[in-house]
Amino acid sequence: MKIKVYRFNEKMDSPSYDTFDLEPKPGMTVMSALFQFQEKFDDSLSFHYSCRGAVCGTCAMLINKVPRLACRTQIESLLKGNLKVPIFPYPAIGKTISWDPEKEVLVEPLPHLPVIKDLIVDMDLFFKFYRFIEPTFKPVDFNSDEEMIMYPVDVKKLQVYTNCILCAACFGGCPIVGQNPKYLGPAALAKLYRFHIDPREAEGISRLKIADIPNGWWACESYGNCFKVCPKGVPPIKAIEKAVDKLNNSKKSI
């Protein structure tokens, strides 16, 4: 089998692809394949990784035209077609390249972010939008000595969104991000909704109003790719839909 990898650096006029014959092993992941590529073909290949346990989110990239974590995506499952994700097509993944998904694994950088080198992208824009939504806890009474009790039902609701590891897979998989570079994106909006539904929060509906702008909640067109590609099952599309309903209802009650 082969692995076909996107290559780019600042000295190149345009990106290219390198293909390497792999020595497959049981349980081999795309991350392991990239290490083998480095060791036996070209040690200059650049990519991000850290925990190798699907926790840090740093190894998100486009694998077989779907945003995924390289550390948890297994080669054998890819070649057998067991990891197909029915995402809505968009220009960033529609670029034609000669590639046989039954015999090759195609690895490219995450879409919608500038490529620094090979599979490494500049995440500044992603985190700029993340900081915009003020992702800090704002308790009802910061100086209180009493415990802030969380009931199991509230914990369960929050956990759906606190599972986000900020890998930006949803950002790379969102057609709107590709069309509108000012759109805050699924991850930032899901995180904002997470703070809004936290019963310990003081700000209530005003939290949602941070993104009550053309490039916030209202820019989403409900393609649903964000949920389909999230490695942790976080559903930004549901958060966005619920936030829009709450904002509409609040405006009707005025």
Q: Which residues of 95-117 are buried (b: 16+ CB within 10 A; e: fewer)?
A: eeeeeeeeebbbbbbbbbbebbb
Q: How far is CA 154 from CA 73, 97, 118, 135, 250, in A?
A: 32, 47, 42, 19, 22
What the block records as the tokens of 158 is: 């929050």
pLDDT of residue 252: 73
| Residue 94 clears pLDDT 90, i.e. is over it | no
Q: Report residue 20's pLDDT band, with 50, 70 and 90 as the boundaries.
A: very high
Indicate the CATH number of 123-252 among 1.10.260.40, 1.10.1060.10, 2.40.30.40, 3.40.47.10.
Answer: 1.10.1060.10
Torsion of CA 236, 240, 243, 249, to 10 degrees: -150
CATH 3.10.20.30 occupies which residues in the chain?
A: 2-120
Q: Tell me the whole-structure pTM to 2 decimals.
A: 0.92
High-pLDDT (> 70) share of the chain, %: 97
Pairing of the two strands 60-63 and 2-7 = unpaired
CATH of region 2-120: 3.10.20.30
pLDDT of residue 253 exceeding 90, the answer is no
Q: Per-residue confidence at 254, pLDDT binned at 50, 70, 90? A: low
Lowest mean pLDDT among 66-70, 135-139, 178-182, 221-225: 135-139
Sheet (strand 2-7) strand order = 16-21, 2-7, 104-108, 60-63, 66-69
CB atoms within 10 A of CB 146: 6
Q: What is the mean pLDDT of the chain?
A: 92
Residue 23 predicted with pLDDT over 90? no
Q: Which of 82, 83, 108 is nearest to 3 (CA)?
A: 108
With cut-offs at 50, 70 and 90, classify the pLDDT of residue 95: confident
Q: Where in the chain is the domain with CATH 1.10.1060.10?
A: 123-252
